[in-house]
Structure 1
Amino acid sequence: MATADDRHIVISVDGHGGAPVGGYRDYLESAYLDEFDRWAANYEVPYEDMKGEEGSRNWDSDRRLRDLEQDGVVAEVLYPNTVPPFFSTSSLASSQAAVPNAEEVRRRRAGLRAHNRWLADFCGMAKGRRAGVIQVMPHDIDAAVGDIRAAVDAGVHGGVLLPGTPPGSGLPPLYYHDYYGPLWETCIELGIPINCHSGSSGPRTGDRQEDDMFFLMDMKWWDQRTLRHLVLGGVLERYPGLKVVFTEVGADWIPRLLKSMDRYFDSTRTASGLSNEGMTYHGSHVIDRMSLRPSEYWERQCYVGASFLHPNETAKRDLVGVHKIMWGSDYPHVESSFPYSREAIRFALAGVPDDEAASMLAGNAADVYGFSLDDLRPVAARVGPGRAEVAAGVDPATLPPAAAKCPAFAGAMPGAAMTQMGDNRKLVEK
């Protein structure tokens, strides 16, 4: 019989869920119920995978636990997926758009508060195995801080989803703006991270197929922009206790970007503020206020939720930081590794030392999100992937054709059509 020592604990830091539209009603303040009833009566969910049998994976706690245990996963971090009250699409996809007026801000804030309350109850149904990500409307930063505190008091400890603030959003577009200071201070005080999820930062440019394609292709650039702003803009210098997680963005870009920022830092930071050619660098006085090189801020404060972790990225783990990488499945999205997460883990971590694999699969996530490995170990003893089989890897030729849907297996299955990284359903507004 397998023991806890024989198996890995697996925590997915990239899960998605939410209530069905009607399921949010009980979580709204009474003042919004009439508005909600009028809105819900005319609202039709635009996503096929949230209708019928498959939709319940977002809110059926027992089904979700069965699916994840079948997949070898014992705990997860929960990002939004369904449509909360008064939103037209998933709030993750809607966060980039401008809110037209103060009345709409008020309504959407009520909708996100309802989601946070639902999330607290949903996490409580699997105590110690779910960490929910809090959503806020940052248009009133003091109100947003209050909503964060209320959610944490209710038991939601997965941190805050960093809202998108691209040009046109109606918010200060630069995260190093002093406006966001109370947000960083509150997260530090409460010991929770800021979460940057792919698709929640960049602006949409239209509804043509080309717009959809470039939106997906540009997502990683917007996430890189966020890291540049937080580091070079001095946020991580001013708030050294802030933890930042970049999720579902891959990990291969991180060493290149850190190297590029380090070069800029080294060439700009001089005693005189002048380059070797005697020309003043733009930004030199800003860089002079940084006490660390950019890669050192990454080392001190940043993490990556490497959904679809691939052997090419595992090979760069020392450059990213083994203690910075966290595995994710993206359940229940169509491109998730479910129900082939065991195979995805074996494919990504073949030959990786056991202690390093354990850090990427669970240890790092436990440190960032507050999971107790001791509490999770008995569940892992039942369902976790074997340590020996993970180290041994998997022959891609033995993978079922359906596994090709997940980018974790990119390049491993010749002739199979691979899915574009990112949830097309979630990101394409109807």
Structure 2
Amino acid sequence: MPLQDYMQLVSTDDHLIEHPALWADRLPRRFLDAGPRIIEHEFTPGKTPAQVWLYEGRIYRYIGLNAVAGKRPEEYGAEPIRYSDMLPGCYDVAARVRDMDIEGVQAQLNFPSFPRFAGTVFLEADDKELALLCVRAWNDYVLEEWCAAAPDRFIPLVLVPLWDVHEAVAEVERTAALGARAISFVENPVPLGLPSFHTDYWDPFFSACEEHEMVLCVHFGSSGYSPRTAPEAPMAVMISLFGCNSMYATADLLFSPVFHRHPKLKFALSEGGIGWVPYMLERIDTTWEKHRYYQNIDQTVRPSDLFREHIFGCFIEDQHGIDNRHQVGIDNITWEGDYPHSDSNWPNSRKLLAEALLDVPDDEAHKMVELNARRLFRFPRTEAGV
């Protein structure tokens, strides 16, 4: 039976909620008024004021990005408007470790919340000097406080300044020296006004990631694009289709020169699911077979072979993907818990995962829930984690 006691759950996609003083504690005094800070804001007279982020004079209404762990689906709805509406584990690292222990999760990789998944709030900023300091402040907090509080429990993921590829390289080198293992990057730069994967713009950055073995984690939605079908369509349509963003990213990368120029580069499709992978690879390979000779694409390497070497899928609940794991690639699958978002199964992740993997041999289950992630992120068990 899978999920034996020796199998530790390593989640490749969770989220931390930034505490109110994160930037105030780290920015130079002259930037404190413009830098991100929490204020009380009354959207509706007579209603409980919300806690919102104020940055460069702009109000950002969200603080938790759907941080509803511990609530029943009947209670989902509006964004948590105050820190008191969330579990302390959303923003307090000691409480997070306790919540991980409750559901039997050994390690997590955590994406940002206020900066958005890949730090695109800072890409939109007016003052890029301040924005760069904000990126560095978030990274320093993650590396020096959040991950340092329990080094065997948190895989260090950082941001880069997307608007300047040379500054991005410098931040890769700076944070790699401090122990970073991964970078939250965008699934598609183009909707954000940035050069595509089909140009050479990102080559210095990708080379730096290769040199320091940094995994590029591309969370769905990090491009700023939401898959919508109609203005009247309920949000359920968008939620159901978000995995398509990871499909777009896969096709885009596999037909781009990225992996041909950077043979050691690794991408993780955070929260993209895995059930679609067999069909998508079949379709991409068929397209390559029939159409590669008259297009500006590589004619020698089958795209599915590139996928097996460079791309990792991440799933929460995906029985179809589990059942077809060998077509996905048993070495290319990782599990994620998505704490504290609504897709999370906290505090029942281990129980439900064990049920989903009931017919999977132990050695394969172990790869999917722990070993693949440890290999990908260079995050071995420590004495404390054995």
Q: TM-score, normalised by structure 1?
A: 0.74
- Once the two structures are superposed, residues 1-53 of structure 1 have per-residue CA deviations (whole angstroms, 9 ceiling, x without a partner) of xxx9843111111111142232331122444224238x645774234435205
Q: Report the 3-state secondary structure (helix = DSSP H, G, I; strand = E; otherwise coil) of the residue aligned with 2:13.
A: strand
CA contact (8 A) 1:223 1:249 kept: yes
**Corresponding residue to 1:74 among 96, 106, 120:** 106
Shift of 1:57: 1.6
Quick one: structure 1 residues 136 and 210, their matched pair in 2 at CA, closer, same or farther if it must change by over 3 Å?
farther
* Equivalent runs, 1:340-379 vs 2, <5 Å: 340-375=348-383, 377-378=385-386
How many angstroms apart in 1 are the aligned matches of 2:175 and 2:312? 23
CA contact (8 A) 1:21 1:40 kept: yes
Aligned to 2:342: 334
Quick one: structure 1 residues 164 and 29, their matched pair in 2 at CA, closer, same or farther if it must change by over 3 Å?
farther
How many angstroms apart in 1 are the aligned matches of 2:362 and 2:354? 12
Shift of 1:242: 0.2
- Alignment partner of 1:169 is 2:192: yes
Aligned to 2:298: 287
Shift of 1:65: 0.9
Shift of 1:300: 1.1
Aligned to 1:95: 120
CA contact (8 A) 1:96 1:163 kept: no
Aligned to 2:73: none
Aligned to 2:141: 118
Shift of 1:78: 1.2
Q: Report the 3-state secondary structure (helix = DSSP H, G, I; strand = E; otherwise coil) of the residue aligned with 1:77.
A: strand
| Largest Rg, 1 or 2 | 1
- Alignment partner of 1:197 is 2:222: no
Aligned to 1:65: 97
AA of the residue aligned to 2:221: G
* Equivalent runs, 1:147-162 vs 2, <5 Å: 147-157=171-181, 159-162=182-185
How many residues are matched? 348
Quick one: structure 1 residues 161 and 253, their matched pair in 2 at CA, closer, same or farther if it must change by over 3 Å?
same
How many angstroms apart in 1 are the aligned matches of 2:19 and 2:122? 22
How many angstroms apart in 2 are the aligned matches of 1:302 and 1:267? 23
Quick one: structure 1 residues 208 and 110, their matched pair in 2 at CA, closer, same or farther if it must change by over 3 Å?
farther
How many angstroms apart in 1 are the aligned matches of 2:204 and 2:234? 35
Shift of 1:267: 1.4
AA of the residue aligned to 1:296: D
Gaps of 5+ in 1: 84-89, 274-280, 379-430
Aligned to 1:315: 323
Gaps of 5+ in 2: 42-50, 53-60, 63-78
Q: Report the 3-state secondary structure (helix = DSSP H, G, I; strand = E; otherwise coil) of the residue aligned with 1:230.
A: helix
Q: After the TM superposition, which of the residue ranges 175-184 and 4-13 deviates more from structure 2?
A: 4-13
Aligned to 1:36: 35
- Alignment partner of 1:11 is 2:10: yes
- Once the two structures are superposed, residues 313-362 of structure 1 have per-residue CA deviations (whole angstroms, 9 ceiling, x without a partner) of 21111001111111111111133011011222112210211111111111
CA contact (8 A) 1:123 1:156 kept: no
Quick one: structure 1 residues 29 and 131, their matched pair in 2 at CA, closer, same or farther if it must change by over 3 Å?
farther
How many angstroms apart in 2 are the aligned matches of 1:211 and 1:98? 29
Quick one: structure 1 residues 110 and 292, their matched pair in 2 at CA, closer, same or farther if it must change by over 3 Å?
same
Q: TM-score, normalised by structure 2?
A: 0.82
- Alignment partner of 1:235 is 2:258: yes
* Equivalent runs, 1:20-31 vs 2, <5 Å: 20-31=19-30
How many angstroms apart in 1 are the aligned matches of 2:35 and 2:305? 48
Identity of aligned residues (%): 25
Q: After the TM superposition, which of the residue ranges 63-72 and 197-206 deviates more from structure 2?
A: 197-206
How many angstroms apart in 2 are the aligned matches of 1:123 and 1:337? 23
**Corresponding residue to 2:305 among 296, 320, 323:** 296
Q: Report the 3-state secondary structure (helix = DSSP H, G, I; strand = E; otherwise coil) of the residue aligned with 2:245.
A: helix
CA contact (8 A) 1:28 1:111 kept: yes
Q: Report the 3-state secondary structure (helix = DSSP H, G, I; strand = E; otherwise coil) of the residue aligned with 1:92.
A: coil
**Corresponding residue to 1:140 among 164, 189, 195:** 164
Shift of 1:306: 1.4
AA of the residue aligned to 2:146: F
Shift of 1:214: 5.1
How many angstroms apart in 2 are the aligned matches of 1:5 and 1:342? 11
Aligned to 1:411: none
Quick one: structure 1 residues 348 and 149, their matched pair in 2 at CA, closer, same or farther if it must change by over 3 Å?
same
CA contact (8 A) 1:10 1:73 kept: yes
- Once the two structures are superposed, residues 179-225 of structure 1 have per-residue CA deviations (whole angstroms, 9 ceiling, x without a partner) of 11112111100011111112212425999663845543443222222
CA contact (8 A) 1:96 1:200 kept: no
How many angstroms apart in 2 are the aligned matches of 1:351 and 1:42? 51
| Richer in helix (by share) | 1
Q: Report the 3-state secondary structure (helix = DSSP H, G, I; strand = E; otherwise coil) of the residue aligned with 2:34.
A: helix
How many angstroms apart in 2 are the aligned matches of 1:96 and 1:258? 33
Quick one: structure 1 residues 228 and 29, their matched pair in 2 at CA, closer, same or farther if it must change by over 3 Å?
farther
